[in-house]
Amino acid sequence: MAARNTGARPGGPNKTCQFKLVLLGESAVGKSSLVLRFVKGQFHEYQESTIGAAFLTQTVCLDDATVKFEIWDTAGQERYHSLAPMYYRGAQAAIVVYDITNQESFQKAKNWVKELQRQASPNIVMALAGNKADMANKRVVEYEEAQAYAEENALLFMETSAKTSMNVNDIFMAIAKKLPIGPPQGETTGTVDMNQPQQQQKGSCCK
Amino acid sequence: MSENLQTLTSNLSRSIIPDQVVLRIPGVAAKLAEDSEEYVPGAISIVEKSIGVFIEWAPSDDPDASWVMATDNGELVTVSSRSPTAGVERHSPDSYSKLAFSLDVNDLSSFRNNEPKKGKGCPSIRLICKDGTSYVPLFFKKTPRLLILSIYITLRRSAREQNLVMVVDHKAEALAKSVSMLDENGDILSRFMQNPYATAMTGFSKITTFVQDQVIPTLLEDDDAVSQEEKIRAMRDLRIRDECEEHLRIHSDAGGEFEVVTQLELPPRPEIYRETPVTQQVWDSFKLSDGTMDSQKLHHLKMNVFRGGIAPELRKEAWKMLLGYRQWTETNSEFEAKRISLAAEYERMKAQWKSITEDQERRFAKFAKRKALVEKDVARTDRTVPFFQGDENPNLTALHNVLMTYVMYNFDLGYVQGMSDFASPLLYVMKNEADTFWCFVGLMERTHRNFEKDQAYIKLQMNQLRDLVMIVNPRLANYLESHQSDDMYFCFRWVLVWFKREFSFLDTCKLWEVLWTGQPCPKFLLLVCVAILDSQMNVIIDNKFGLTEILKHVNDLSMHLKLEEVLTAAEAIFHQLSASQDKLPAHICDYLNIGEAATP
């Protein structure tokens, strides 16, 4: 990738950047609940399963920019795995979610991380969320284990609770801060990288 | 617009109707010569003139028009009007302008298109004239959308050569052939994914059928100048009318993004009246004394259910028949005997999974996985419906039992998300585990292919849905295509669980019993989708929704749709199509089981 142009930041503090973020993770770990908490401040104990995908937006304000997240919430079940690339293609950020009370879901999260490292945009910002942190009495995935894994793979990591809203805004905010907020990078006007026809996504999307 | 083109066109005609550029795609480079490695940037246009319709290419003087292109062997070449490489001798701009051409579409014999191989190279086409002239290949910066060509000419992919697209005679017959040929190539969606350019180019000819039938026949026969001019005027009037109605962007420079709207004029939608639900009394009037349904009147009964649904108190009896748990021809005593034996069968299968201990589960991963999925989903299925509210609700256990027993009944398919959505209304109506289970088996007979691993059946239905939208509302179909939404995946949830998430619990019950009748055609579910999309056309197009907004809008329709209106519109659309069956492509008749393909 070309070096980021840090010389000019036109538009001052009011510029709005738009980023595509995708949520991935095993079924029933709380992907939709995290989004619902973040976007609407709501929590439903019996949030129905997501069929296909849902799309929501939310805006967060940083010191020098406004970041608009376009959030793709996906179905978690293995059977619908083949649809996932459609949703993470071109995503600039991903939150891989597992349930701290479910070991299997942590393993699935690792698989998702691997898949994203292999298939998603190379500069995607990835976060790992250990959800259901309010159910610490049923914990089977240790904080330290997940944190060590996240460090190895350069992931942002937080334990979250959509139910109590613990760390929910924080994890989105942390992602926003890691996203390339600046003029579009890597592309010179009028050129197209013909070798990557599917990935003509700009590194950043400030307007 | 380029001055070169202006010069060319003014030489060619003393315009009575002013020339009009209907499409201009910049970023189209011509290879300087067959043996040259030099590419000249320019733009391709389609121009309507009083003497005909012309495809034109002219070099671009714009110094910013340069771009980098990858050739087939992977080398990067700068396409620039300015000299890119110092020391390399360049041809003079004169030789560039000689490349410019203006070609009457009626002189076009075929074109050959080449797609990038494995992401290398860029799409190119070579136009070939009837007199054998072959133009230098044109290389496209972006995949072009030349849909508009289909207004003027009919395209057909060569049977012998995949990349060759022929211009065929302007006869509806040939068009029909072109449509069926496309279908022989199978799944257009998957071909499009692999090969967007070729599919787009051949896909045009589909639409042409409808223009051809309705508008063009009288216009294209004559070749003398006066009628040519009339023809152009008529075509332009047609297009302008569409434009006015539909805000088409004609001079779009946005990578040739362009909509053309053509229409098979379906007859007006008939007024449809829905009926009141079938009551016990009406239902009984179709019964013979032994409890079987009068086979002479069965169709009539199904139509009654189709038109009005079933009264809630009758559902428990009627759903068993609609779902094939009880045959229409089964007497009361026969069914009672069967019911008892099937209940025992249910208990036997239930005991199988119930007897698996936690210890066994640890070494039975496939079972444990399915069980975990069922548990997760039962806990969150329809929990806002009073029937399933509360933590210790026995109905949750019953739903769990039904789904777990189905796992044993069909272990290969197992449990897939969405199945609990299908099972819960059955339990609500049957209020009995074994009856629910066997009704569920009947329902899964109709829907299990939705849950297969390869998702092929869902894809097939999406393609069929797109084909239907193309006919019923081509403007919307074109809009979806130009907004990367013609895979129709925003309707995934509708099709997967038959609108369970879109309507209230009770409306879902009514919709399902209507669909279970199989009336008036087996794919009525898809017509329901078409009716809803058709009703949302203005919202989608006027708001200029893109891929994400369309998905969001469609998801957000949930609980805001009026079932009776939707059913009325879907039925009206069926009658429209049915009345036009002789003009419809064969595959559409096939979906709807109408016309010659119909099986009783």
From A55, A79, A194, residue closest to B451, measured CB to CB: A79
Q: Which of A79, A103, A201, A205 to mutate to test the interface with B (most CBs of B within 10 A)?
A: A79
Q: Which residues does chain B have with pLDDT short of 70?
A: 1-17, 34, 62-67, 70-76, 81-94, 115-121, 131-132, 142-263, 596-600
Tokens of A47: 């949030």
Whether residues A190 and B65 touch (CB distance < 8 A) is answered with yes
- In angstroms, the Cα distances linking B74 to B70, B77, B399 are 5, 9, 58
Whether residues B141 and A28 touch (CB distance < 8 A) is answered with no
Give the separation between CA B527 and CA B361, rounded to whole angstroms: 44
**Nearest Cα residue to B510 out of B500, B519, B520:** B500
Whether residues A51 and B418 touch (CB distance < 8 A) is answered with yes
Q: For residue B455, list chain A residues with Cβ-Cβ distance below 8 A.
A: 80, 82-83
Whether residues B70 and A194 touch (CB distance < 8 A) is answered with yes
- Closest Cα in chain A, distance from residue B152 (Å): 31
A53-61 sheet: strands from edge to edge: A53-61, A66-74, A16-25, A93-99, A125-131, A156-159
Whether residues B455 and A195 touch (CB distance < 8 A) is answered with no
B20-26 sheet: strands from edge to edge: B20-26, B42-49, B52-59, B101-104
Q: B140: part of which helix (H) or strand (E)?
A: strand B138-140
Size of interface A-B (CB pairs under 8 A): 94
**Burial (Cβ within 10 Å: 0-12, 13-18, ≥19) of residue A117:** middle
Residue with tokens 């939709």: A32
Whether residues B489 and A86 touch (CB distance < 8 A) is answered with yes
Q: For residue A28, list chain B residues with Cβ-Cβ distance below 8 A.
A: 376-377, 380
pLDDT at residue A138 in the model: 97
* pLDDT tens sequence across A103-130: 999 999 999 999 999 999 999 999 999 9
Q: Which long-range contacts (CB under 8 A, 24 or more apart) does B542-547 make?
A: B545/B483, B546/B483, B546/B484, B546/B485, B547/B483, B547/B484, B547/B485
- Between A201 and B61, the more confident residue is B61
Residue B103 phi, psi (nearest 5): -125, 125
**Nearest Cα residue to B106 out of B45, B165, B157, B149:** B149
Please enumerate in sequence order all residues whose Cβ is within 8 A of that of B223, keeping only pairs 6 or more positions apart, or say none: none
The SS3 of residue B423 is helix
Whether residues B417 and A196 touch (CB distance < 8 A) is answered with no
Tokens of A41: 């401040």
Q: B489 at the A interface (CB within 8 A)?
A: yes
**Nearest Cα residue to A192 out of B57, B83, B122:** B122
Residues of chain A that touch chain B, judged by Cβ-Cβ distance less than 8 Å: 27-28, 45-49, 51-56, 70, 72, 75, 77, 79-80, 82-83, 86, 104, 189-192, 194-197
Task: Output the DSSP codes for B180-211.
Answer: HHHHHT--HHHHHHH-HHHHHHHHHHHHHHHH
Give the separation between CA B280 and CA B291, rounded to whole angstroms: 13
Task: Output the DSSP codes for A7-72.
Answer: S--TTGGG-EEEEEEEEEESTTSSHHHHHHHHHHS---TTPPPP-SEEEEEEEEE-SS-EEEEEEE
Tokens of B309: 């649904």
From A51, A55, A190, residue closest to B67, measured CB to CB: A190
Taking residues A41-60, report their average pLDDT: 94
pLDDT at residue B144 in the model: 57
**Burial (Cβ within 10 Å: 0-12, 13-18, ≥19) of residue A28:** buried
pLDDT at residue B25 in the model: 79
From A47, A49, A194, residue closest to B122, measured CB to CB: A194
**Nearest Cα residue to B549 out of B466, B479, B464, B497:** B479
- Closest Cα in chain B, distance from residue A33 (Å): 12
Give the separation between CA B477 and CA B467, rounded to whole angstroms: 8
Residue in chain B nearest A20 by alpha carbon: B548
- The sign of the torsion formed by the CA atoms of A143, A146, A152, A154 equals negative
pLDDT at residue B124 in the model: 77
DSSP B277: P
Whether residues B496 and A79 touch (CB distance < 8 A) is answered with no
pLDDT at residue B163 in the model: 64
Whether residues B64 and A77 touch (CB distance < 8 A) is answered with no
Least confident among A179-188, A197-206, B198-207, B256-265 = B198-207
pLDDT at residue B24 in the model: 79
Give the separation between CA A124 and CA A22, rounded to whole angstroms: 10
Residue B212 phi, psi (nearest 5): -60, -50
Give the separation between CA B470 and CA B478, rounded to whole angstroms: 8
**Nearest Cα residue to A89 out of A22, A187, A42, A8:** A22
Residue B167 phi, psi (nearest 5): -95, 120
Residue B44 · residue B56 · CB < 8 Å: yes
Cβ neighbours, 10 Å, residue B392: 6
Q: For residue A51, list chain B residues with Cβ-Cβ distance below 8 A.
A: 417-418, 421, 492-493, 496-497, 501
**Burial (Cβ within 10 Å: 0-12, 13-18, ≥19) of residue B344:** exposed
pLDDT at residue B6 in the model: 52
DSSP B149: H
> What ipTM was assigned to the predicted interfaces of this complex?
0.84
Whether residues B552 and A55 touch (CB distance < 8 A) is answered with yes
Greatest C-alpha distance within chain B: 100
Q: B476: part of which helix (H) or strand (E)?
A: helix B474-482
Whether residues B417 and A54 touch (CB distance < 8 A) is answered with no
DSSP A200: -
Whether residues A52 and B64 touch (CB distance < 8 A) is answered with no
pLDDT at residue B44 in the model: 83
Residue B433 · residue B402 · CB < 8 Å: yes
Burial state string for B508-529 with b = 16 or more CB within 10 A and e = fewer than 16:
bbbbbbbbbbebbbebbbbbbb
